[in-house]
Amino acid sequence: MNSKARKTGSDLPPSREIEEDLTILHSRSVADVTRIQSDLLGTDARVADLFLRFVLETAEARDEPSRLLSKISEFTFQAFPVATHLALVTRNPSDGEMWPLIAESRDGEEPNVVLSGTLMNRVMNEGISLIFARSESTNSGIKTAICAPLSSPESTFGVMQLDIRGKKKGTFATKDVDRIAVFAHHVALVLDNHRLYLEQRQAFESTINALVHSLSLKDSDTASHSVRVRDVSVHLGKALELTETQLETLKVAALLHDLGKHGIRDEVLLKPGKLSQPEREEMSQHSELTQTILDKITFPGRLKDVPMLAAYHHEKIDGSGPYKLAGDAIPIQSRIIAVADVFDALVSARVYKKPLPPEQALTILGQGRNLEFDPLVIDTLKSLLSNIMAAVYGQDNEEADLAA
């Protein structure tokens, strides 16, 4: 399959309706799609295996929109070997217009979305799948096509259409009307689950943002520090080639690493000067308080380690931190946050101190090499220093030196 032929989402033009003499060859209601599926999968082991792989692989890709659409296209062309073109068209809830989510050709020709508005409305409104053919005198290029509705429990929101265009051999059979009914049903479930996943993710992200905002109400310096620690940490994590999941947990844990400061008395947290020994001991409790707070939040499965990662940001390589973890027993995300946390504290201004030049901050971090901090993380920070100072702090090293 030629990947260059694929266009998706906002890259695609609106669907083009065909004004042609179309003949419906066969149709059936998809109201009882469960029974249709049972009959289909019970008599065709190859199709049953394909559907199983489709369910598994789209589930794995649910949080990656482009990969998810690619999987839908890949399995659709496997399920319908004679199809030359695929169009997945959904209704825009804001204006009711139909827009293509996928338009792909099997053999690499430029894909065009060619639909009959009359048939599309019938498929959606009546809940039917059908096969139609065009007369020889028309010029859309479609020889024959099958289509079926995309429906969620709440509504019918689109149409799947497969075409055979041009002089390609082969034709759709009556059994393909059942097959596309079942396949479109599964595609609709995948798309609806993806929508729900995005809504849940947005709700979770709003919760995280609300937590950071709540910290800014107590101490705006700590809140802005948390944002910078997140940004520095992400730069380091990418350079250290963390996995996508590790990067996501790093991003969230770094942003929330100081949330436990909610539990520190204002006279200690906001003190404009050096802390006494008892005050330092109180302040050191914020790591454990962070985990206590975050453990009360139900994190998505991929982020379940965030409370632990955030809490371990004061662990030391030599094992002298609050939880007494040492070396590689400290998760890599926590080791990254530890370096980013101290680096930002050193190069940022406070009411009681001036910012240090970044090179001096690196020297101080180097004094804790193999004692407090992971040497690999320090070396990575050093190699990225110019980029980080520009991207996170908006200045190059020369400007940082002048500011100090």
Catalytic positions: 261
The secondary structure of 300-321 as a DSSP string is -GGGTTHHHHHHGGG--TTS-S
Question: Can you read off the two tokens belonging to residue 9?
Answer: 């989402």
Question: Across the strands, what pairs with 151?
Answer: 156
The number of beta carbons lying within 10 Å of the beta carbon of residue 42 is 9
Distance CA 404, CA 390 (A): 16
Q: How many whole angstroms from its chain centre is CA 280? A: 39
Name the pairing type of β-strands 156-165 and 85-91: antiparallel
Q: Could you give phi then psi for residue 66, rounded to 5 degrees?
A: -65, -40
Output DSSP code: residue 103: E
Q: Which residues contact 24 (CB under 8 A, 6 or more apart)?
A: 119, 130, 131, 132
Residue 145 pairs in a beta bridge with: 132, 163
Burial class (CB in 10 A: 0-12, 13-18, 19+), 384: middle
The strand pairing partners of 130, in sequence order, are: 27, 147
Bridge partners of residue 87, in order along the sequence: 103, 161
394 class by beta-carbon count within 10 Å (0-12 exposed, 13-18 middle, 19+ buried): exposed
CB neighbours of 173 closer than 8 A, spacing ≥ 6? none
- End-to-end CA, the chain: 58
Measured in residues, the chain has a length of 404
Residue type, 169: K
Angle (CA) 125 189 161, round 5°: 50
- Residue 118 DSSP SS3: helix
Contact status, residue 113 vs residue 87, Cβ threshold 8 Å: yes
